[in-house]
Structure 1
């Protein structure tokens, strides 16, 4: 039996390059072109006109995090995601210090086009539910 140690997270979206750039800003990732090409634009030149701009990917420059892949789909987002990313900005922090870190990151991401949905907080934990620039849910945790 094999053990899988690598995976990528795939986003269905309307504008793959735009959404990829957003997540690069959120996570400190970089856009990575397909193998054999210097850029996604170079790759697009080999594709039929209707397929250009249909894909994009980004990776963690440290090599630790998973690759994120973005693919254009014709339909828009309709319902809540069944899977979402938790962006870990408050790890190890508690109480007011944790909430301050979450709020600071929320402010930064809203300036990039994210939407704050709601704060989930009790005496033990807190997170902020958000949406990316195409409405995909994620949490600041």
Structure 2
């Protein structure tokens, strides 16, 4: 079984313009036009050669689909811009939710209870109940 080289992911710029064009089912000149319009922004080598990632190829396919459905290139640019912003905001929300959960668990006076066959017991915040199948109830301080 082959494994991916270390450090490569969907954002790794590994495809030449010819390879990316073939993967996306487009002409290389179309990729150059999309780059000029800012619809896709491939990485550049030291020699200024375009290098595309799998994410870029997916984006090219999305541009092609929207274009075939009659959306103008300016409309596509705006859709992609909003889509990128949405993805970034969702990531930021996940980060903030995680930070908030960590902060709440660190606050003094917060209590966590577990209920099972032995009754209700207090457990340390972040700990799991000793017996599987127990129900855990978090009870915030005043005002929560």
Same fold, judged at TM 0.5 (above): no
- Of the two, which has the highest radius of gyration? 2
Band the TM-score falls in, shorter-chain normalisation? under 0.3
For normalisation by structure 1, the TM-score amounts to: 0.15
Q: Which has the higher contact order (CA 8 A, sep 6+)?
A: 1
For normalisation by structure 2, the TM-score amounts to: 0.15
The structure with the greater share of residues assigned to helix is: 2
The structure with the greater share of residues assigned to strand is: 1
